[in-house]
Amino acid sequence: MRRKPLRYLTVVTYGRTGSTAIQATLNALPGVMVRGENYNAFRGLHDYVQSIAETADRHTSGRPNNPWYGSAKLSPADVIDDLRRHVVETVLRPAKDTEVVGFKEVRYEPGHFPDYDLLLDYLLFLNKLMPGIVYLFNIRDAAEAARSGWWPGNDSAESVIATTNDWLIQAADDLNRMLGAGRAAVLEYGAWNDDPERLIEAYAAVGLPRDDAAVRAAVGERLDHGPHSG
């Protein structure tokens, strides 16, 4: 029996920012379980809930010959509650002693979100799906990231990454303003890779459980992952 309600967390980033190391440091914290990437699977849920909400907004649906028949009985809130159970039980799969559960995702650059407003709208949906979710935005110097294995042959990589950095920094500001202080933090690869204390401070600022020694050790571990991992 779980004693406390789950808390939620997501790492928002793009390829070659050290996000797999971030994932490792988070999983080193007591009671924290952060799953890896899922090809932004929850974007489909976002579209589904939006369609249900628009359908439920139809008010002339009482008769069987109405094109929106049945829509008045739809409850977007009930749909989200069911989706939350699905996400937690089948995707995130927390352990019995997990207090904070979440995931990282690297698919946030303009190739995945045509404009900033769409990205922010999706991030706000995640807060409906997983209430109280904490956002960790992980960025890297655009020139350094563009030279890494994720971006070979992409002549516009540095520009794309620079735009993504701007979006993620802005999203952190907007989410803290809209949802309350301490809901989002920006992590910068060059800073925390040189000094793990930057991670320790950021994690504390968003209220995560602490194990400073475990974070330092996780940053120092050599990661074994393929050329397209974070």
Mean per-residue pLDDT, 183-200: 96
- State both tokens at 7: 């808390």
Contact of 56 with 75, CB cutoff 8 Å? yes
Residue written as token pair 């030279």: 147
In a domain, 226, yes or no: no
Q: Which residues contact 61 (CB under 8 A, 6 or more apart)?
A: 68, 69, 70, 71, 72
Q: Please give the share of the chain, as a percent, with pLDDT higher than 70.
A: 91
Residue written as token pair 């793009």: 14
Mean per-residue pLDDT, 210-215: 96
Residue 10 to residue 23: CA distance in whole angstroms: 10
Domain count, the chain: 1
Mean per-residue pLDDT, 219-226: 64
Decide if pLDDT at 84 tops 60. Answer: yes
How many CA atoms, within 13 angstroms, populate the side-chain half-sphere of residue 112? 20
In a domain, 51, yes or no: yes
pLDDT at 71: 87
Residue 123 to residue 199: CA distance in whole angstroms: 22
Q: Is 38 helix (H, G, I), strand (E, B) or coil?
A: coil
In a domain, 225, yes or no: no
In a domain, 123, yes or no: yes
pLDDT at 226: 46
Give the domain range for residue 196.
7-19+29-220
pLDDT band at 227 (very low <50, low <70, confident <90, very high): very low
In a domain, 151, yes or no: yes
CATH number of the CATH domain containing 105: 3.40.50.300
pLDDT band at 68 (very low <50, low <70, confident <90, very high): confident
Decide if pLDDT at 60 tops 90. Answer: no
Q: Could you tell me which residue, 221 or 61, shows the higher pLDDT? A: 221
pLDDT mean across residues, the chain: 91
- State both tokens at 81: 């509650």
- Range from 26-40, 58-72, 171-185, 201-215 carrying the lowest mean pLDDT: 58-72
User: Which residues partner with 32 through β-bridges?
Assistant: 100
Q: Could you tell me which residue, 37 or 73, shows the higher pLDDT? A: 37
Mean per-residue pLDDT, 181-190: 97
Main-chain phi, psi angles of 160, to 5 degrees: -60, -45
Q: Give the burial string for 137-156 (b: 16+ CB within 10 Å, else e).
A: bbbbbbeebbeeebbeeeee
- State both tokens at 110: 């303009």
Q: Which residues contact 64 (CB under 8 A, 6 or more apart)?
A: none
Mean per-residue pLDDT, 121-128: 98
User: Which residues partner with 187 through β-bridges?
Assistant: 138
In a domain, 2, yes or no: no
Helix intervals (H) in the chain = 19-27, 42-56, 76-86, 116-129, 142-146, 157-179, 189-194, 197-205, 212-220
What would the pLDDT profile of 6-57 be if each residue is shown by its tens digit? 999 999 999 889 999 999 999 999 999 999 999 999 999 999 999 999 998 8
In a domain, 112, yes or no: yes
Decide if pLDDT at 153 tops 90. Answer: no
Decide if pLDDT at 61 tops 70. Answer: no
Please choose, from the candidates 210, 175, 212, the residue with its C-alpha nearest in 3D space to the C-alpha of residue 195: 212
In a domain, 228, yes or no: no
pLDDT band at 150 (very low <50, low <70, confident <90, very high): low
